[in-house]
Amino acid sequence: MIGKERPQPPDPFGFTEREKLYDQISDKRFQALIHDPGTSIHKVGIDTNNYGEFVFVTLSRELQGHRTIMTFWGLGYHEYRERWITHHWRWYSGNQFPAILKQSLSLEATQVLLAQRQADIASDVSAEDQSNRAQLYELLADLTDEDGAYSELEDLGAAALWLLADETDARDTDDDLPATKPLFDTDTE
């Protein structure tokens, strides 16, 4: 017997289905969140994750007596996507440690830190061409998730080289392939 679907806990951040699907929000939406009086800002800092160096902003909101913590990251270069993340923010569910909840940062201080980061990276931010590998990673990440895309590329191994080979790449020749027997004998005598 199939059980009833458990109700989802309330979402104090009010994420849309699309935002939940991609674990990201626009910068405009992020700004609205940090400006909302119902949002507490706990921590802002530059740090690294598996994808590069970003600004991490830990926020919390309360709904129906339950406080939810989310950490947003952006304003950095995503090494696997080979793309600057400046117009949107990705997020993950933060740890509910009491020490984090005790920390508090003002909106004004947060804005200063974000503006400083934007100024620091402004000269580096550009629309660069992505490599074939970055394009494949981005496609896989959008279909699965960031960690899943990395694992998929690792699992593909040598097949990824074939998928990523440029049509004009000199390595893309039959000379590199091992000799195999043809499936059908096409010689007619």
Question: pLDDT by residue for the chain (189 residues), tens digit each?
Answer: 566 777 766 789 999 999 998 899 999 999 999 999 999 999 999 999 999 999 999 999 998 888 899 999 999 999 999 999 999 999 999 777 888 888 999 999 999 999 999 999 999 998 778 888 888 888 888 887 777 777 777 777 766 666 666 544 444 444 444 444 443 344 544
pTM for the full predicted model: 0.76
Q: DSSP characters for 121-158?
A: HTTT---PPPPHHHHHHHHHHHHS-HHHHHHHHHHHTH
Least Cα distance to 76 among 131, 118, 44, 135 occurs for 118
Side chain identity, residue 41:
I
Q: Measured in whole angstroms, how far is the alpha carbon of residue 30 from the centre of its chain?
A: 15
Least Cα distance to 58 among 124, 6, 22, 110 occurs for 110
DSSP letter at 179? P
How many residues would you count in the chain?
189
Cβ atoms within 10 Å, residue 46: 14
- CA 111, CA 105: separation in Å to the nearest integer? 10
DSSP letter at 176? G
Maximum Cα–Cα distance for the chain, whole Å? 86
Contact between 35 and 107 under an 8 Å Cβ cutoff? The reply is yes
Side chain identity, residue 43:
K
- CA 53, CA 115: separation in Å to the nearest integer? 16
- CA 182, CA 9: separation in Å to the nearest integer? 59
